[in-house]
Amino acid sequence: MKLAAYVQRRSGWINLSTATLVALLQRTPVLRVAAAADELVAASPVGSLLKSAAAIVASLGAIDSMAGATTLASTITPNPSGTLPNLDATVGVAITTVGFTITNTMNIASWKVTGQIPPGLVLTSVETGGQVLTGPGVLDATSMGTAGDPWTPGTSGNNTTTPILKGTPTTSGTYTFDLQGFAEPGEMGGSGGTFVGTGISAVFPYTVVVSAPGVVVSAPAFSTQPISVSVTGGTVALNALASNAPTYQWMLNGSPVAGATNATLMVSDAAAAAGTYTCVATNSAGAATSNAATLGIVAVSDPGHLSNISARAEVGTGANIIFGGFEIGGGGQLPVLVRASGPALVQFGVPGTLPDPQLQLFNSANAVLATNNGWGGDATVLSTATGVGAFAWPSMTSHDSALVETLAAGGYTAQVSGQSGDTGDALVEVYDASPAGSFTAGATRLTNLSARVDVGTGANILEAGFVIAGNSALTVLIRASGPALEQFGLNGTLSDPQLTLQDPQTSAILAQNISWGGSSVISGAAASVGAFTWAVPSSHDSALLITLPPGSYTAAAAGTSNDTGVAIVEVYEVP
């Protein structure tokens, strides 16, 4: 929380003089944390490490130092550049006690803890008499400060809680818990506290990787490499992924990028950050460096844009049909070709195709705009399909269905079902049918494409294809929603969708995600494009933010453990 906002909410401080205010800011909270650290010195050989954390807190006494963003620091990493590195541990071997503090904030009297603490480890406090947590809960204040403390006027003093993680892990695995600081005792889970539930820090994750005895941790190895791209400007996202639970540091022209410690690097102003990027992955066994990726700036008349989406799945009955959604942005009108292929898929060796797909087009008010139950060799459909490069339908009398429409900006849904209640494999496609070469920056265009189906196993997973047209790369947000759909009352959702992005020409995997992990990069991008909110950071929904050159791509959603259920794959243009 910013200092000014915090002071504003505490009416007891409003009439204090500037000199008194500064004096109060420089006093007891720092001394109490330092004293707590000294208590640990007497009780533990790692106490000297906690002094470094206390020193960090001591540096916050001046009012100017309290104006920046909060950062979680530990006794192992007292000066982090971003998210704290993972802690490597071994089953049956006691860890070195880890103390935590948050920089650039005021006194922390209580802590909210969520997520998973490794079995065998406990999160408690330096101060005597504090809670002992083995899972989610609250570490509340335990040690009193000096009398007459101004932070809580009218009380005998203020409280401080300093978390420490200790113990001997008993079960291998990767565990992440979150810490958030609160200004007063009882703000989380207790009585008292005027501003219950108001945190003075962000929510910070901490990950512990516990290996089985005798397991040798290998150095990181990259499975996803960053892609070189040329853009006209705007947002760029570079991706790299390495095995063996590493921490990441992105480099630009050989120098570290401040705060760039996630697997995805978000560049908000590409024009100011062109150059050569690499990613360094590090764990306790060593480090690895990704391939180099170049970010270039180009001036083109036809910038990258979404031009087509397709989704293939097994069509059932009732709600288990194919829903293809798309959004038109830019304020004008856009010609589109929408197709539902069933019999036409036989030429590709697809078994069990839907014999007579019915195609319906709905607007955002759920009104039916058009319906087709067999294209009948329509000349407009044929010429439009040829113009956009769609694959040819071999029979003029097949029961495949299609619509050619000119639509205003807004949201639409193409629905594919069996006309007579029949079932089978089908493909829905939506094409931007604008004349070739007519696209310009800011023109009316497809800005969001999505497909909702009942995901099966094997060949019956959700495969959504999309095409980026133009002469420059485009940044896209790709999401696979399963558990997140429950907020809309959907039952039988896919519990743990795995999202895989592939090049359909080579089948090469370009990026992959299993569980988004509450990523602030993903949630920020989703908010910027108007995507519906994923409310649970620990959900098993999956997402990728990536900048891609012009070309064809496939985003596949499948159950990580071969489970089945309803899922949505979405592709958003990210400006």
Question: What's the rounded mean pLDDT across residues 459-483?
Answer: 93
373: helix, strand or coil: coil
Burial of 485 (0-12, 13-18, 19+ CB in 10 A): buried
User: Which amino acid appears at position 532 of this protein?
Assistant: F
Residue that wins the pLDDT comparison between 406 and 463: 406
Range scoring the smallest mean pLDDT among 19-23, 180-184, 197-201, 422-426? 19-23
Domains contained in the chain, CATH given: 3-211 (2.60.40.10), 222-297 (2.60.40.10), 305-573 (2.60.120.380)
Which of 150-154, 322-326, 452-456 shows the highest mean pLDDT?
A: 322-326
Can you give the pLDDT at residue 499? 95
Question: What's the rounded mean pLDDT across residues 434-449?
Answer: 87
pLDDT category, 478, cuts 50, 70, 90?
very high
Pairwise CA distance, residues 531 & 533, whole Å = 6
pLDDT category, 188, cuts 50, 70, 90?
low
Phi then psi for residue 524, to 5 deg, are: -65, -45
pLDDT > 90 fraction of the chain, expressed in percent and rounded = 56
Which of 21-25, 122-126, 292-296, 487-491 shows the highest mean pLDDT?
A: 292-296
pLDDT tens digit string along 328-366?
A: 998 889 999 999 999 999 999 999 999 999 999 999 999
Q: Does residue 45 carry a pLDDT above 90?
A: no
Here the tokens at position 557 are: 């959603």
Can you give the pLDDT at residue 196? 54
- Give the number of other CB atoms < 10 A from CB of residue 296: 14
The Cβ-side half-sphere exposure at 175, using a 13 Å CA radius, reads: 26
Decide: 248 and 189 in contact? Cβ < 8 Å: no
Which residues, in sequence order, are CB contacts of 349 under 8 Å at separation 6+? none
- Give the number of other CB atoms < 10 A from CB of residue 435: 8
pLDDT category, 46, cuts 50, 70, 90?
very low
- pTM over 0.85, yes/no: no
7: helix, strand or coil: helix
- Give the number of other CB atoms < 10 A from CB of residue 281: 24
pLDDT category, 138, cuts 50, 70, 90?
confident
Burial of 34 (0-12, 13-18, 19+ CB in 10 A): middle
Distances (CA, A) of 49 to 54, 74, 371: 9, 9, 70
Q: Does residue 274 carry a pLDDT above 50?
A: yes
Which residues, in sequence order, are CB contacts of 423 under 8 Å at separation 6+? 314, 315, 316, 317, 354
Can you give the pLDDT at residue 42? 34
* Dihedral over alpha carbons 326, 328, 329, 333 (to 10 degrees): 180
Which residues, in sequence order, are CB contacts of 322 under 8 Å at separation 6+? 311, 313, 315, 340, 415, 416, 417, 426, 428, 451, 452, 453
pLDDT tens digit string along 66-89?
A: 234 567 888 777 767 667 888 989
Nearest to 281 by CA among 313, 323, 251: 251
Decide: 517 and 469 in contact? Cβ < 8 Å: no
Q: Does residue 470 carry a pLDDT above 90?
A: yes
pLDDT category, 106, cuts 50, 70, 90?
low
Can you give the pLDDT at residue 141? 61
Pairwise CA distance, residues 175 & 155, whole Å = 39
Average pLDDT, the chain: 81
